[in-house]
Amino acid sequence: MDSVDSIMSVSSLNEKIKSLLEAHFYRISVEGEISSVTYHNSGHIYFSIKDDKSTLKCVMWRSNTSRLKFRLERGEHIVVSGNIGVYTPRGEYQMIAVSIEPYGKGALALAFEQLKKKLSAKGYFDTSTKKSIPKFPKTIAIVTAHGGAALQDMLNIASRRWPLVEIVVFDTAVQGEGAANEIADAIKRADRYKSDVMIVGRGGGSVEDLWAFNEEVVADAIFEASTPVVSAVGHEVDTLISDFVADLRAPTPSAAMEMILPESNEILYAIDEIFDSYNRRIRDIIHFKSEKLKALEISLKNNSVENRLRLLYESFNSIKEKMDETMKYKIIRLESETEPLKERFKDSVYRVIRQKEDRLKTLKNALEMTNPSNKLKEGWGEIIKNGKRVPLASISIGEEFDINDGNTIIKAKVLDKK
């Protein structure tokens, strides 16, 4: 049986175990899958890791959690580096985590994917929320380090491309402890300035140098800004959370200024093109209006009283000429048709005239015979043959004739003629 001196109290044993474990298991690394995790209000993180046979309790104190780049989630395979600690009041041991890395990949890469997934679910990347960049910005707010080379590059490009633009710089730290909060505050100040567009960025660097632009606080500030935001961080190969949230992603700060500012020479050329096009258009309009005016003048002239009278006069003359030609034609045709009638009429007239002449002669002879002044002398008489007075010499032997002295008519016959 052990002596009383060899018997230890529970506390003594736990203290000895604590000393042995903490001295032996110092600066060790253990890999396993997170089976449970609790983020405490105090800032500490309590979690457990396991493999297929055992479980290990772990804790990371608040003083170390600020260096943790990703969020612990159940089911993740991680590597925990730290010490074994013993909580003597309960005789429990646990691993005190100093740093935690994802198993097989970097912590920053995992943190990037976690935040990207979270923000995407919140709608930060939706194209429907993106604001359009003005074509001719009058003012540009730049959120970057005041003494950085990236700022100088942007200012040089702005003065070359579009000297009319006003640029306001909001100075901020762009890397290191607390840089993310400073960037977020500068974005909010720039947004209150109400510029036409805002550039948030810096020059190139390592993943750690650029990490401030992967922080959620910066993403929130960009998403909540009413000013259109252009993310211009690092080089073209660098892709950050700010690029996904911003309204426009530029591969470099210099490229950002080239993308949002027009080229003055191109604008001048475009103005010349517009001016030429305007002149051509004016000439076309003037030509069109001139032709239309000429047409109206012609129409006015054609519809004037003088022109109408002239047209009526010409129409009247034309009708008159046609009528004259028609009448001439009809007269010629009627003349040709009436020529036989004319001849027959002439013959009839001549015949009637002869008849009338003969009748007139008869009446004249009768008048002369009855006229007292024309009475024959005593012993003389007219020789009448066939009702006509004839010379005596015209009567042949054997012909009968009448002798009329105005009072007496004697029938006679020529017996002899000498």
Amino acid at residue number 56: L
What are the angstrom distances between the C-alpha of 269 and each of 135, 160, 219, 281? 16, 16, 39, 18
Residue 256 has pLDDT above 80, yes or no: yes
Q: What is the pLDDT of residue 12?
A: 85
Nearest to 203 by CA among 134, 168, 250: 250
pLDDT in the model for residue 241: 94
Query: At the topology level of CATH, where does 9-112 sit?
Result: OB fold (Dihydrolipoamide Acetyltransferase, E2P) (2.40.50)
Mean pLDDT computed over 340-355: 80
Residue 62 in tokens:
């608040």
DSSP letter, residue 70:
S
- Residue 264 or residue 100, greater confidence: 100
Lowest mean pLDDT among 36-40, 95-99, 227-231, 406-410: 406-410
Check residue 10 and give its pLDDT.
86
pLDDT at 101 over 70: yes
Looking at residue 323, its pLDDT comes to 84
Kindly report, residue by residue over 348-357, the tens digit of the pLDDT.
888 888 888 8
* Mean pLDDT estimate for the chain: 86
The average pLDDT across 284-290 equals 90
For residue 374, pLDDT beyond 60? no
Residue 376 has pLDDT above 70, yes or no: no
Task: Identify the residue with better confidence: 281 or 66.
Answer: 281
CA dist 412 and 418 (Å) reads 16
Confidence of residue 316 (pLDDT cuts 50, 70, 90): confident
Q: What is the pLDDT of residue 87?
A: 84
Q: For 156-198, what is each residue's pLDDT tens digit? A: 999 998 988 999 999 999 999 899 999 999 999 999 999 999 9
Asked if the model's pLDDT at residue 59 lies above 70, the reply is yes
Per-residue pLDDT at 3? 54
The amino acid at 309: L
Would you say residue 81 has pLDDT above 70?
A: yes
CATH T-level fold of 136-262: Rossmann fold (3.40.50)
Listed range (100-114, 140-154, 203-217) with the worst mean pLDDT? 100-114
Average pLDDT on 383-396 reads 84
**Is residue 380 over pLDDT 60?**
yes
pLDDT at 379: 67
Kindly tell me if the per-residue pLDDT of 2 is higher than 80. no
Q: Phi and psi (nearest 5°) for 85? A: -120, 150
133-160 pLDDT per residue, tens: 998 999 999 999 998 899 999 999 999 9
pLDDT at residue 191, as a whole number: 96
- Average pLDDT over every residue of 383-387: 85
Say what the pLDDT of residue 314 is. 81
Residue range(s) of every CATH 3.40.50.2300 domain in the chain:
136-262
CATH 2.40.50.140 maps onto the chain at 9-112
- Counting residues of the chain whose pLDDT is more than 70, the rounded percentage is 95
pLDDT of 373 above 70: no
Q: What does the pLDDT read at residue 371?
A: 61
In this model, does residue 105 exceed pLDDT 80? Answer: no
pLDDT at 170 (0 to 100): 97
Look at residue 370 in the predicted model and tell me its pLDDT: 64
Q: What mean pLDDT comes out for the span 225-234?
A: 96
Mean pLDDT of all residues in 241-269: 89
